[in-house]
Structure 1
């Protein structure tokens, strides 16, 4: 009997600090909001988005983030959004992100997953290629003003998003730079705003293959964009709708074309660089997405608000789709990779 009482006393002593910590963390989350403590400059630095846009995102995502439970200490939509944004912005370890909000590693992962899924429900409202005649004409004029090349609808480039070394088909994900990655195709307009993105192929896949198997590439091949053009680097095939630089320019006109082409492609390269630096978890300097491909999703769509807010929102949505795509399409991805490496003839 004495032994049983001793065990009960020890169990109570072990549980007491844990229960107190839960209450303390809940009190901190409920009463010490970063919105109330941090100035606007610190908000932008810590979360990579201005206060106004975060509040708009919170209002937009609140129905999806609200926890329909009567249990104590449920995470508020604000805490979930800020925890996810903090991870997006820093690419830090999950434990480090959780310490700032009194959250466990599992809770932070759940926040990231929930926020990302909520963002993706609104993706196609914002990220899309120009559709109306007015939008197409605006992009044509903007691109022509930069380098003098007419009828350009989008600037295409590929970029590698580092991920954790996958446990299956490792070599398919090892990029030409020697690390595991996902090859992401990005299309931007003259302002550097992302208008389309394909992120479902492993890092060893060639850019030309990604383009040929993308919805935009297929639509362009069928003449779906009329007289509009896309510009890509030498890694893409030369087509009547896809212009690449000349490998050995001889005449003055050919050299002028290459100069104009480089000037246009600077826009997409700068856009990708800014995107990765704003959401540091995509950059190799922060270790990339330390996730297996099954947890590394990918990106798609956001476009028309104020240009500044639009750019930030499109990058955020694109990151969200990156964080979700591979998990959602894991079986299809593995099948495509298997087909790619078993049927390729090059």
Structure 2
């Protein structure tokens, strides 16, 4: 029985047994995009513990989608919780190598112009190259005792800040191109500016909701990432990269998760509009 299971894990592809709709629902990416992802990463994934690279990658994508090792085990793949955990630890750094080319700010004149034109109809603010906001990614690690990870909401989390473009792509963290709201608006013009600033900022809030719904491992409903802080940071970046892949190929948006959004630590309970 052991040798049969080992053979199946080495040669069986879970993708072959599922419809296109089921593949996208389960792994959050279309079949063709997963296959394109397998090609560059497979040579770097060790074929160990009787799991071929494709099975390991699919187990990792499924973990990102549901946020629970046990849920992946319960899918009937024949994997143990330890195997899924090892796959996440091994494959995530390999996927991370591709993040720099998939998460990037516009660089050419034409790319910048497209972003400017994409944002302008939202609220009429000119020359916007991206919207900036932060969110808390909860983590859950019983061995984590450093109080620096505990925020004002009394749970451990990683404070994450991103830049989002008009298409809902995560582009990077940036310290320039910032347009800040007026702290104490004293004229109708300043009040209108703050209003348009808020309307533009909702773009990034909506993207946060989509990313966390697409990859439940970074959503608070999953109970928090049960990994070390360093590995949590890697997973956060990789899920951002995979979200960009999904957006670029027009993948269906996942159903929303009803839960209170976790804002960044530097955001007040009743915040003014954030930087754009």
TM-score under structure 2 length normalisation: 0.80
- The 5 Å alignment of 1:1-346 reads 20=1, 22-29=2-9, 33-67=13-47, 74-92=50-68, 94-99=69-74, 100-165=76-141, 167=143, 170-197=146-173, 216-217=174-175, 220=176, 229=177, 242-298=178-234, 299=237, 308-309=247-248
In structure 2, do the counterparts of structure 1 residues 307 and 61 end up closer, same or farther at CA, with 3 Å as the change threshold? closer
Quote the Cα distance in structure 1 between the aligned partners of 2:218 and 2:250: 17
Quote the Cα distance in structure 2 between the aligned partners of 1:307 and 1:172: 33
**Superposition misfits of 4+ residues, deviation over 6 angstroms:** none
In structure 2, do the counterparts of structure 1 residues 55 and 275 end up closer, same or farther at CA, with 3 Å as the change threshold? same
Unpaired runs of 5+ residues, structure 1, are 1-19, 198-215, 221-228, 230-241, 313-346
More helix by share: 1
Quote the Cα distance in structure 2 between the aligned partners of 1:311 and 1:252: 40
Cα deviation, residue 311, structure 1: 7.8
Quote the Cα distance in structure 2 between the aligned partners of 1:65 and 1:97: 19
Asked which structure has the greater RCO (Cα within 8 Å, sep 6+), the reply is: 2
Cα deviation, residue 64, structure 1: 1.2
Over the aligned positions, Cα root-mean-square deviation in angstroms equals 2.5
Cα deviation, residue 274, structure 1: 0.5
Cα deviation, residue 24, structure 1: 4.1
Cα deviation, residue 172, structure 1: 1.2
In structure 2, do the counterparts of structure 1 residues 114 and 143 end up closer, same or farther at CA, with 3 Å as the change threshold? same
For residues 68-117 of structure 1, what are the alpha-carbon distances to aligned partners after superposition, in whole Å with 9 as ceiling and x for unaligned?
x7xxx73111101110011000001x244235322233321221122212
**SS of equivalent residue, structure 1 residue 297:** helix
